[in-house]
Amino acid sequence: MIKIFISFATITTTCFFAPIQIQAQIQDQQPIPSLKETFKNEFLIGTALNTSQILEKDVTANKLITQQFNAATPENIMKAEIIHPTWNQFDFTLADKLVEYGRKNNIKINGHTLIWHSQLPRFVRQIKSPDSLAQFFADHITTIASHYDGKVLSWDVVNEALEENGSLRKSIFLQQLGEGYIVEAFRLAQKAAPHTELYYNDYNIEQPKKRAGAIEIIKKIKAAGVRIDGVGIQGHWRASKIPLAEIEQSILDFSALGVKVMFTELDLSVLPNPWDSDNADVSATAGNSKGKDPYPNGLPDSMQTILAKGYEDLFRLFLKHKDKISRITFWGVNDGQSWLNNFPIRGRTNYPTLFDRTYTAKPAFYAVIATKK
């Protein structure tokens, strides 16, 4: 039985979807529109896939994925701790299945990610010699990027290399290899994967200071004569406080550098934020307390409206700059899959995607669809 937690009477006339039509469509269980078809002339529409979805264990999820999305990014299986677990061992098993899944369903794959300070295998965290780390660095990028050259559309070559003030994150790579490690990562990826697009990916780079840091990275890569094809803005925002002006400026600033712009991990949290700023650092945690999980049994009408309006505003902005944006990827197929159920407080119930836990389209989904009308 499908549970609908929304009362369409609360939706104001400023929203652009038709409540009565939506309600009737859900009740009649008619086929819903397709995101990938709706925006086929504007940008790719992607989602993050977990292992169960890649292995097609959930029939309902698989039907929705193939109907709605034409791009996909793996949540975890291409991260170093899984694909390169020991010094001399690479495990391509799950990543190869993802590539096959994409080929079979005409879904373009974005590799995520070659160099990231988090989710490293234990042996890397124990390396103390810069020479040994440089050897790992080169072998890791060259082996994996070459294995998937021509099989994936793109790679997030370097992920989350910046602090909030725009300076380089004090990761193991910066500390042992120096500031040139980012340019070198792109140089190695370019050589190993000449038929693959190469991206820099980060969160909060729509914010002025961090954006300036990302611009500096892109300029340094280009000045070195190395290829960088795009920049990914992750898009982990609060539904009630989306920084639209900063997002628009980031689109303009990055595209002016001659690179593609993508929104790579889009989700809109509806839960109280324990901090006074957006934060997507997976190592950050906050203690649980009363009132921090306000909607364990379903999202109230008022919050459904806020979520729908947030997605509507974003997609109107994306459409305004459709000539500069190549992909929009949602970070999760449905609410139950979202990492935000456990970040930054474990065990909460969040509702940040376009589909609820039964894979039913939410008002936010129809708000996005309606931006094309």
Residues labelled as active-site residues: 160, 265
Q: Cα(103)–Cα(192) distance, rounded to whole angstroms?
A: 21
The two tokens of residue 106 are 């005409």
Q: Cα(155)–Cα(284) distance, rounded to whole angstroms?
A: 25
Q: Cα(142)–Cα(164) distance, rounded to whole angstroms?
A: 30
Q: Residue 110 CA to chain centroid, in angstroms?
A: 10
Q: What is the Rg, in whole angstroms, of the alpha carbon atoms belonging to the chain?
A: 20
Residues in a beta bridge with 71: 46, 108
Per residue, the 3-state secondary structure of 192-253, as one string, reads: HCCCCEEEEEECCCCCHHHHHHHHHHHHHHHHCCCCCCEEEECCEEECCECCHHHHHHHHHH
Q: Cα(239)–Cα(136) distance, rounded to whole angstroms?
A: 40
